[in-house]
Structure 1
Amino acid sequence: MGKVRVAGFSLSLDGYGAGLHQDLENPIGVRGLEIMRWFFETKVFQAMHGQSGGAAGVDNDFASRAFENVGAWILGRNMFGPIRGTWGDESWKGWWGDTPPYHTPVFVLTHYARAPLVMNGGTTFYFVTDGLQSALEQAREAANGKDVRIGGGVSTIRGYLRMGAIDEMHLVLSPVLLGEGEHLFGGLNLPQLGFGQVEAFPGENATHMVLKKS
Structure 2
Amino acid sequence: MSKRNSISLKNGLTAAALALAATAFYGCDNSTAQNSLPIYGEREPVERTVDGKTVIDTIYHQIPDFAFVDQDSQRVTQETVAGKVYVTDFFFTSCPTICPKMKTQMLRVYEAYKDNPNVVLLSHSIDPAHDTVAVLKDYADRLGVETAKWHLLTGDKDSIYTMAEAYLAAAQEDEGAEGGFSHSGDFYLIDQQRRIRGHYNGTEEEDVDRLIRDIPLLLNEKKDEK
TM over 0.5: no
TM-score, normalisation: structure 1: 0.30
Higher RCO (CA < 8 A, seq sep 6+): 1
Query: Larger C-alpha radius of gyration, 1 or 2?
Result: 2
